[in-house]
Structure 1
Amino acid sequence: MLDNVSSSSCFKSHQIVSLAHQNSCLYAEVIQEIPERHKCWVRPLFLAVDIYSVSPQVYSLRSASDLVWPIQAFSPAFDTEVIPFLTALESSQFESSENPQTVRSRFNHFIQQVWQKEQIASKEEQ
């Protein structure tokens, strides 16, 4: 994964980006950059958990709600980073035994953790 990009860089529609936190990473497709608000509108694709392990857990988020998030939190994702996950998801290799509500709950928990981290960081800057 790359370091977070500055708000001056541009993401393109349909580009895959990542939002990493601790040992998890959200991968999403860019719908639109909102430069006047320094935000990015993305469509979540999947959440990878335990990304540093030999066999990370991957949860499909294709039915999750879109997300508008500060653009500086995202990094462009490498093809070599994303393609194995997408291939596995398409082939049902990572078929989750968890119900959709549990997967949504994992996603919401991830977003809450990232939000709390951002709030703490912004308070420390002040």
Structure 2
Amino acid sequence: MTDKPSPVEFKTDRIVCIDRENLHLFAEVIDIISVSSRCWVKPLAIAKSTPESFKLEFLHDLRDAAQLILPTEIFREALDTEVLPLISELFHPATNSIRSTNAQKVLYQFISDLYRLS
């Protein structure tokens, strides 16, 4: 997706996403800091998906991770077809689901890679 909404279009409690290759950081918007064009978010999960469809292959549950303040332009609004399976997996995990035990480290690495590669 190349069309990104302006910061004004993001609303609190919406789910937004940062894409990096086939990894996706999903977060809930807490607030928009329009003075500095930043978005204050609560991370929910990092998911890996296949290019053809949004099928969760691996999930890092980040609900206990630190909140973030990042530039608004790196986010896009998450699609319902992405959010519904994600929320379902977070709150009702499959018994054979593989989960991360080091989510905070994974989040830190994702953000570090994001800035290093940009």
TM category, shorter: 0.7 to 0.9
Q: 1:17-36 maps to which residues of 2 (within 5 A)?
A: 17-36=16-35
Q: Report whether the alignment pairs 1:52 with 2:50.
A: yes
Deviation at 1:109, TM superposition (A): 0.6
Going by fraction, where is helix more abundant, 1 or 2? 1
Structure 2: unaligned runs, 5 residues or longer: none
**In structure 1, the residue corresponding to 2:108 is in which secondary structure?**
helix
Q: Deviations over 1:65-108 (max 9, x none)?
A: 00000000000001111111110121122352x42xx2211111
Deviation at 1:26, TM superposition (A): 0.2
Would the aligned equivalents of 2:66 and 2:104 in 1 still touch at CA under 8 Å?
A: no
- Number of equivalent positions: 113
Q: Which residue of 2 aligns with 1:11?
A: 10
Q: How many percent of aligned residue pairs carry the same amino acid?
A: 29
Structure 1: unaligned runs, 5 residues or longer: 119-126
Q: Report whether the alignment pairs 1:85 with 2:86.
A: yes
Deviating above 3 A after TM superposition, structure 1's stretches of 4 or more consecutive aligned residues are 6-9
Q: Which residue of 2 aligns with 1:76?
A: 77
The separation in 2 between residues aligned to 1:4 and 1:105, in whole angstroms, is: 30
Q: Deviations over 1:15-61 (max 9, x none)?
A: 00000111100000000011110100000001002x11655201110
* Greater Rg by CA: 1
| TM-score, normalization by structure 1 | 0.80
| TM-score, normalization by structure 2 | 0.85
The RMSD of aligned alpha carbons is 1.8
Would the aligned equivalents of 1:4 and 1:74 in 2 still touch at CA under 8 Å?
A: no
The separation in 1 between residues aligned to 2:79 and 2:56, in whole angstroms, is: 19
